[in-house]
Structure 1
Amino acid sequence: MNQHVAIIRPDPAKLDPGFLRYFLVCPETQARLLSWAGSGGTRNALTKGMIQAFNVLAPGAVPEQHAIAHILGTLDDKIELNRRMNETLEAMARALFRSWFVDFDLVRAKMEGRDTGLRRHLSDLFPDRLVDSEMGEIPEGWCASTLADVALLNPESWNHRNAPDRILYVDLANTKWGYIDDIQKYTWANAPSRARRVLRRGDTIVGTVRPANGSFALVDRGGLTASTGFAVLRPVNATEREIVWCAATSHDAIQRLAHLADGGAYPAVRPRAVLDTAVALPDAQVRLAFSSVTAPLLNRLKANQREARTLAALRDTLLPKLISGEIRVDDAQKLTGARA
């Protein structure tokens, strides 16, 4: 480690390492450390003396410390498991989209007389020929199009006449690579001026400011308000939710927006650029078939995200109360199902 990193090695006979980790990330501890770091000099920093003098509030018995760390760690393990499951679910949905709508694997298989791997009624929906288009080769009967044919752009906005008294705000900084990490509560009078975009369940939001940062997500609940830094895409039909999300947030689509972004230190694209994402569109039957295959994947992904948010909230509630002794280990075990 470099000289700006302090290494704290607890005596295992007196202090459980896992407990120390959770004690240090507790909001009250973080606030105290930040106040100390900002108390002197021109740069916030903790000195070795400050760290050595810092009192750790902990149960005297190391096994109880370990039990507390185990309870909190069990919640973190469940959150991490959900994250890994979601990586797999997202990869599956994106792989299917690329196979069907970008590489046209099923059409190429039929052209070469190979099995498509689909049931007969689904396989029959695909042509056995590629034709030239402005996008290059696409399946016969499909349209070289954009998301404008299947989605509406920024369909609703708040203003001083129709705004609610309170809003739940989604910002660019709290939205990364498919996850909305934090939703902030404001009264309308105190809300940021950019809090204008009305969100509905099934919308896809894509950040137009510094698009390479990956500020995009699939909205899984109503009642949210997004920053005007997002382009909001609302599927024209519910069964096109999956196509809109996969096309607008694919690696190629985000890279295209990043290439288009200009503005020096504040690179951005117009929301219309997101709607102009190119996509080869089949007939309604193929779109419905794609939805039927991928909707369960995205529904499970969003359910995992909701569960992870609930688990994180429980962990953050228990953390200071377990450390302070306000909640006993036995009670926390009943809440979480964790057993040492």
Structure 2
Amino acid sequence: MTRWITCRIGDLCTLRRGASPRPINNFISTEGVPWVKIADATESKTRFIEKTKEFIKEEGAKNSVAVTPGTLILSNSATPGLPKIMKINACVHDGWLVFDDFNGITRDFLYYLFLNERERLVQGANGSVFNNLKTDIVKNFIVRIPESIAIQNRIVSILSSIDDKIELNLKINETLEEMAMTLYKHWFVDFGPFQDGEFVESELGMIPKGWRVISCYDLANYINGKAFKTNQLVDNDGLPVIKIAELKSGITNSTKFYNGDIEPKYLLQNGDILFAWSASLGVFIWAKGKAVLNQHIFNVKPNGTLSKSMIYFTLKNIIQEFIEIAASRATTMGHITKEHLIDKKIALPPDELLVKVDEKMSNYYQMILSNMLEVERLTQIRDYLLPRLLSGEIDVSKAEKQVEEVL
């Protein structure tokens, strides 16, 4: 029989807060020491921080807190209570807590404990949410853990084996998308297979003879999401409402739901292509089940010109241009308009050549979607087991057998 004990986090490890050199803008650089920001964690779909968008100069690092591969960190502001494990040497600012010197608990068990207890951790005794997770709040946070390190390790092994498979699928998809984009650019940007043929003048410059120029707007149907009023949205009842936050972080405790009647054009299904055109632009494949689309995101549907896979890779190829347009006209919220879609032109080959390349692009698209769906299935299994394993509700041996069957 596993014995569970009640402890304070502060009795299980040491923790310290990160630090920032001041003024921070004097030390931000394009090279130097990786500088971990909360956005690096929220945009990572794995347990780890493997890269950062920003760096600080060496002299700034002297007034920060260094972390090394294997270090467990926890966000304490902006998006509090999010644990991550470092994969790189870096520095962390005071929006992070750093954990060391584990005693009676393993680093990985504490990672999953924080993941499981996140909602409770960031709630005050009166139910209010902490905007800033102070060090003393975390130190005095009470948890129950198995006294046996061996049991902790078995629980970690169950959960990490699922996460390993999730992360493998994510890496495979990165490779598949890189391969697909390389093929796309070879055909539609460099015109590689046609360099020995005849080229003609067009509004895009020289293109292979027989190709045509078409606007991005005419490639597909762009269906904007529904403009909901705040009082129409509820918690955990009906269908999830997909905003830009859900495209980046998935369906979370912050996601709102809609339980009223909805026009079919606003409903999402797995495999839909979503184009966020405002604030934080991006192109995504939806794979999280039936949902409702919010405004500021297009559901991009084929209109007979291109297949779904070709639409996706075409938009991925040109999204950076739209991001730059939105940034250049940003006031409170940068965005693009219908006119920008109309103004953006691409060249398309004759239908028989389009069918030929689409066979390959569709294979990439379907493999990516299949892996995304498996990630969702595995995530649901992990999220089912996590609270039950960390509360002792489910027997570890039983969970080990269940996971062995699904992996």
Match of 2:44 in 1: none
* 8 Å CA contact retained: 1:247, 1:277: no
Q: State the structure with bigger RCO (CA 8 A, min sep 6), 1 or 2.
A: 1
The correspondence for 2:384, drawn from 305, 309, 317, is 317
Q: Does 1:226 align with 2:293?
A: yes
Q: CA deviation at 1:137?
A: 0.9
The structure carrying a bigger helix percent of its residues is 1
Secondary structure of 2:134's counterpart equals coil
The correspondence for 2:370, drawn from 295, 303, 309, is 303
Q: CA deviation at 1:237?
A: 3.1
Q: Does 1:258 align with 2:324?
A: yes
Secondary structure of 1:265's counterpart equals coil
Match of 1:77 in 2: 164
* 8 Å CA contact retained: 1:143, 1:282: yes
Match of 2:222 in 1: 153
Q: Does 1:35 align with 2:123?
A: yes
Q: CA deviation at 1:80?
A: 0.6
List per-residue Cα deviations over 1:101-145 (Å, max 9, x = no partner).
11101111xx1xxxxxxxxxxxxxxxx121111001111010121
Q: Residue 7 of structure 1 aligns to which amino acid in structure 2?
A: V
Match of 1:132 in 2: 201
Q: CA deviation at 1:257?
A: 4.5
Q: Does 1:2 align with 2:18?
A: yes
Q: Does 1:204 align with 2:273?
A: yes
The CA distance in 1 between the partners of 2:334 and 2:348, in whole Å, is 30
* 8 Å CA contact retained: 2:310, 2:362: no
List per-residue Cα deviations over 1:173-219 (Å, max 9, x = no partner).
2114xx86668642027x9xxx9734466542211112xx3432134
Q: CA deviation at 1:274?
A: 3.4
Q: Residue 175 of structure 2 aligns to which amino acid in structure 1?
A: T
The correspondence for 1:243, drawn from 307, 310, 317, is 310
Q: Residue 9 of structure 1 aligns to which amino acid in structure 2?
A: D
- TM value normalised by structure 1: 0.77
The CA distance in 2 between the partners of 1:156 and 1:23, in whole Å, is 37
Secondary structure of 1:154's counterpart equals strand
Q: CA deviation at 1:62?
A: 0.8
- TM value normalised by structure 2: 0.65
Q: How much is the aligned-residue C-alpha RMSD, in angstroms?
A: 3.4
The CA distance in 1 between the partners of 2:323 and 2:140, in whole Å, is 50
Relative to structure 1, the CA distance from residue 229 to residue 168 in structure 2 (aligned partners, 3 Å threshold; closer, same or farther) is same
Secondary structure of 2:145's counterpart equals coil
Q: CA deviation at 1:292?
A: 0.6
The CA distance in 1 between the partners of 2:399 and 2:267, in whole Å, is 38
Match of 2:259 in 1: 187
Q: Residue 244 of structure 2 aligns to which amino acid in structure 1?
A: L
For structure 2, list consecutive stretches of 5 or more residues without a partner in the other structure. Answer: 1-16, 20-93, 229-236
For structure 1, list consecutive stretches of 5 or more residues without a partner in the other structure. Answer: 112-127, 160-164
The CA distance in 1 between the partners of 2:319 and 2:165, in whole Å, is 32
Q: Residue 260 of structure 2 aligns to which amino acid in structure 1?
A: W
* 8 Å CA contact retained: 2:198, 2:208: yes
Match of 2:107 in 1: 17
The CA distance in 2 between the partners of 1:256 and 1:158, in whole Å, is 22
How many residues in Structure 1 have an aligned counterpart in Structure 2?
303
Match of 2:185 in 1: 98
Q: Residue 98 of structure 2 aligns to which amino acid in structure 1?
A: I
Q: CA deviation at 1:168?
A: 4.3
The structure carrying a bigger strand percent of its residues is 2
* 8 Å CA contact retained: 2:241, 2:258: yes
List per-residue Cα deviations over 1:276-326 (Å, max 9, x = no partner).
532101111111111111111110101111111111111111111101100
Q: Does 1:273 align with 2:340?
A: yes
Match of 2:147 in 1: 60
Instruction: Identify which range, 51-60 or 287-296, moves more after superposition.
Output: 51-60
Match of 1:217 in 2: 284
Q: CA deviation at 1:88?
A: 0.6
The CA distance in 2 between the partners of 1:170 and 1:51, in whole Å, is 32
Match of 1:333 in 2: 400
The correspondence for 1:169, drawn from 241, 245, 248, is 241
* 8 Å CA contact retained: 1:158, 1:198: no
Relative to structure 1, the CA distance from residue 81 to residue 134 in structure 2 (aligned partners, 3 Å threshold; closer, same or farther) is same
Secondary structure of 1:311's counterpart equals helix
Relative to structure 1, the CA distance from residue 32 to residue 257 in structure 2 (aligned partners, 3 Å threshold; closer, same or farther) is closer
Q: CA deviation at 1:85?
A: 0.2
Secondary structure of 1:99's counterpart equals helix
Q: Residue 76 of structure 1 aligns to which amino acid in structure 2?
A: D
Match of 1:121 in 2: none
Match of 2:212 in 1: 143
Secondary structure of 1:234's counterpart equals strand
